[in-house]
Amino acid sequence: PASEPTDLVVFGGTGDLSMRKLLPSLHLLDRDGHLDAGTRVVAVSRDGLTDADLRDKAAAAVRSHHEVDDNDGLNSFLDRLSHVTVDVGGDPRGWEDLARALVPGRDRVFHLAVPPMLSGSICRGLRDAGLVAPGARVVLEKPLGRDLVSAREVNAEVAEIFPESATYRIDHYLGKETVQNLLVLRFANVFLEPLWNSRWIDHVQITAAETVGVGGRRGYYDSAGAMRDMVQNHLLQLLCLTAMEPPSSYDRDAVRNEKLKVLQALAPLTGDRVDTDTVRGQYGPGTVGGEEVVGYLDEAGGPSTGDTETFVALRAEVANWRWAGVPFYLRTGKRMAHTRSEIVVRFREVPHTIFPGADGRPGAGELVIRLQPDEGIHLTMSAKEPGAGAPRLRPVPLRLSFADTFPNRSPEAYERLLADVLAGDPTLFVRRDEVEEAWRWVDPVIEAWTDRNTPPEIYPSGSAGPAGAHRLLGRNGRTWYEQE
Q: Which of residues 307-346 bind ligand BG6 (CB under 6 A)?
A: 341
CA distance 96 to 90: 12
Task: Choose, by CB under 6 A, the member of 229, 317, 342, 415 that binds ligand BG6.
Answer: 229
Catalytic residue among 203, 234, 378, 470: 234
318 in a known ligand binding site: no
87 in a known ligand binding site: yes
What is the DSSP track for 353-377?
-SSTT-SS-TT--EEEEEEESS-EE
**Positive or negative, the Cα torsion across 136, 141, 144, 146?**
negative
φ, ψ of residue 9 in degrees (nearest 5): -105, 120
Q: Does 210 bind ligand BG6 (CB under 6 A)?
A: yes
334 in a known ligand binding site: yes
Active-site residue 352, yes or no?
A: no
**Contact assessment for residue 465 and residue 459, using Cβ atoms and an 8 Å cutoff:** yes
198 versus 410: smaller Cβ distance to ligand BG6: 410
167 versus 341: smaller Cβ distance to ligand BG6: 341
Binding mask 46-65 for ligand BG6 (x = CB under 6 A): --------------------
Residues contacting ligand BG6: total by CB under 6 A = 3
176 in a known ligand binding site: yes
- Closest separation between CB of residue 222 and ligand BG6, Å? 13
- Closest separation between CB of residue 341 and ligand BG6, Å? 6
**Contact assessment for residue 282 and residue 459, using Cβ atoms and an 8 Å cutoff:** yes
16 versus 47: smaller Cβ distance to ligand BG6: 16
φ, ψ of residue 340 in degrees (nearest 5): -165, 125
Q: Does 375 bind ligand BG6 (CB under 6 A)?
A: no
Angle at 155 between CA 153 and CA 156, to 5 degrees: 65
Instruction: Tell me which amino acid residue 32 is.
Output: D
- Closest separation between CB of residue 134 and ligand BG6, Å? 32
CA distance 48 to 93: 13
β-pairing, 278-288 with 311-317?
Answer: antiparallel
Instruction: Tell me 333's DSSP state.
Output: E
40 versus 142: smaller Cβ distance to ligand BG6: 142
For 289-365, list the strands marked E by DSSP. Answer: 291-293, 311-317, 327-333, 340-347
- Closest separation between CB of residue 229 and ligand BG6, Å? 5
Residues forming the annotated binding site for substrate?
Answer: 172, 176, 210, 229, 334
Q: Residue numbers of the site for ligand BG6 (CB under 6 A)?
A: 210, 229, 341
